[in-house]
Amino acid sequence: MDDIEEIKKLKARYFRGLDTKNWDLYRRVSTDDMVGTGDVVEGLDAFMEYASGLTMTSVHHGHMPEIELTSPTTATGIWSMEDHVRWTDGYESHGYGHYFETYEKVGNSWRIKTMNLSDLRSDRTPYSMEPAESAAP
């Protein structure tokens, strides 16, 4: 399989690891020295501590990747994204934006080296855990 397809599969594993809270999978998608910006987090251990400490249920989707190979072992990518997040504080958010990333090939596997999420919009609304009343008699 070609490198661009492998990077697309890498990003799919990133989203799946985050949304299912499969922290072993989530750890395997990044380089040891990965840097996440927005909330600047340097190093994989610090990034894992940050991500696994988020108290939420989420669904993330990445779309329309723009991936460019910059060498046999490096690449850049931009992903349109949409997420639905239910936070434990009683609110949920529906966000839209872009991931700006760099990738590095480590051995035979592509990994995320840097990640910056740029939000275009995020709608935050309260939610209720109470079941909705049925309108039918």
The answer to the question of residue 131 being in a domain is no
Task: Give the CATH number for residue 96.
Answer: 3.10.450.50
Q: Which residues contact 38 (CB under 8 A, 6 or more apart)?
A: 116, 117, 118
Q: Does residue 132 sit within a domain?
A: no
- Domain span holding position 78: 3-126
Tell me whether residue 110 is in a domain: yes
Residue owning tokens 């251990």: 45
pLDDT at 31: 93
Answer whether residue 92 is part of any domain. Answer: yes
Residue 23 lies in a domain: yes
Within a domain: residue 134? no
Per-residue pLDDT reduced to its tens digit, 77-86: 999 999 999 9
Per-residue pLDDT, averaged over 77-99, amounts to: 95
Domains held by the chain: number: 1
Cα-based distances in Å from 12 to 42, 62, 68, 131: 22, 8, 17, 32
Q: Which residue has the higher pLDDT, 63 or 1?
A: 63
Residue 86 within any structural domain of the chain: yes
- Residue 28, domain member (yes or no): yes
The side-by-side arrangement of strands in the sheet containing 109-126 is 41-42, 30-37, 109-126, 91-106, 74-87, 56-71
